[in-house]
Amino acid sequence: MSNQPVVSCLPVSANKMSKAKKVLDEARETKNREIDLVDRNISTFEELPGLLNMLFVTRITLSHNKLKTVPPGIANLNNLEILNLSNNHLEELPLSLSSMPKLRILNCSINRLNTLPRGFGAFPVLEVLDLSYNNLNEHVLPGNFFMMDSLRALYLGDNEFEYLPKEVKNLKNLQILGLRDNDLLELPREIGELTRIRELHIQNNRLSVLPPEIANLDMPGPKSVLKMEENPWVTAIAEQYLVGISHVLEYIKTEAYRILYNRHMQAGGKTAGDLPPKADKSKKASRARS
């Protein structure tokens, strides 16, 4: 009798489908409302038979796969509350996502998104949106992007934003705003209207001044976080930063700083020749093409 190990004759794609199908079959049998398909080498929803008909599901995790598209039929899952699509190869998202009535958390970080669909800001109850580590900028945001009243956390870090639209002021319930590792040259004064902000991440950009209105935020509080390192700050801010964040926030309340800020903005910020160079993002995973 041969002791040779049994080798499956199924093609790789069939093996992938059979493993994913097993997870889905078990979930159907047990009415498991949480589907975990992390790192299954899935490249298309066709490898997930029947998933879009599992209306009882409330959470789907498909991170660390090779998905390039998400079918519009994902919106059939009208009980879905959490969708994790991070670390895939997504280049676009379906508009239907924003119509999902119970979706609270959407994670599309570490993908290859260059644009967002029109009307993307129509989510009725979305609380957390993670779009970090993609190829997005201010020019590709749909007109209603900042109309998500329910949003508590917005992560846009590691993209290609040079400016943050002033409409950010409409996110009245926002508590966390992540803008690290972009190409931001300035922040809008309207950011001071986000009175519920408790975390602001602006590190590693091209910022030289802060709008004085940031002092309106309750950032010095014990539960607050302001990250602002790795920016080419004007000397006055850089000196205060060496002493501590609280000193920066006190300084930008002063009349002396308001004068400095207004002069800086009236001069158009920095001239093109004085602008710090953009970070080299050519080797980002989000720029890769498979």
How far apart (Å, rounded) are the C-alpha atoms in residues 180 and 86? 18
Q: What percent of the chain has pLDDT over 90?
A: 81
Contacts of 31 (CB under 8 A, 6+ apart): 56
How far apart (Å, rounded) are the C-alpha atoms in residues 206 and 210? 11
- Answer whether residue 277 shows pLDDT above 70: no
How far apart (Å, rounded) are the C-alpha atoms in residues 73 and 50? 11
Structure tokens at 47: 């490898």
Q: Residue 82's CB: how many other CB atoms inside 10 A? A: 17
- Answer whether residue 283 shows pLDDT above 70: no
Length of the chain: 290
Q: What's the DSSP call for residue 161?
A: -
Q: Quick one: pLDDT at residue 288?
A: 62
Q: Quick one: pLDDT at residue 12?
A: 46
Task: State residue 163 phi and psi, 5-degree precision.
Answer: -135, 145
Q: Angle at Cα 170 formed by Cα 166 and Cα 176, nearest 5°?
A: 90
CATH number of 19-234: 3.80.10.10
Q: Quick one: pLDDT at residue 285?
A: 59
Q: Quick one: pLDDT at residue 7?
A: 45
Q: Residue 38's CB: how many other CB atoms inside 10 A? A: 13
* pLDDT band at 8; cut points 50, 70, 90: very low
Q: Quick one: pLDDT at residue 16?
A: 56
Cα distances from 68 to residues 12, 41, 141, in angstroms, run 18, 12, 20
pLDDT tens digits, 121-161: 999 999 999 999 999 999 999 999 999 999 999 999 999 99
Q: What percent of the chain has pLDDT over 70?
A: 86
pLDDT tens digits, 200-253: 999 999 999 999 999 988 776 778 899 999 999 999 999 999 999 999 999 999
- Answer whether residue 278 shows pLDDT above 80: no
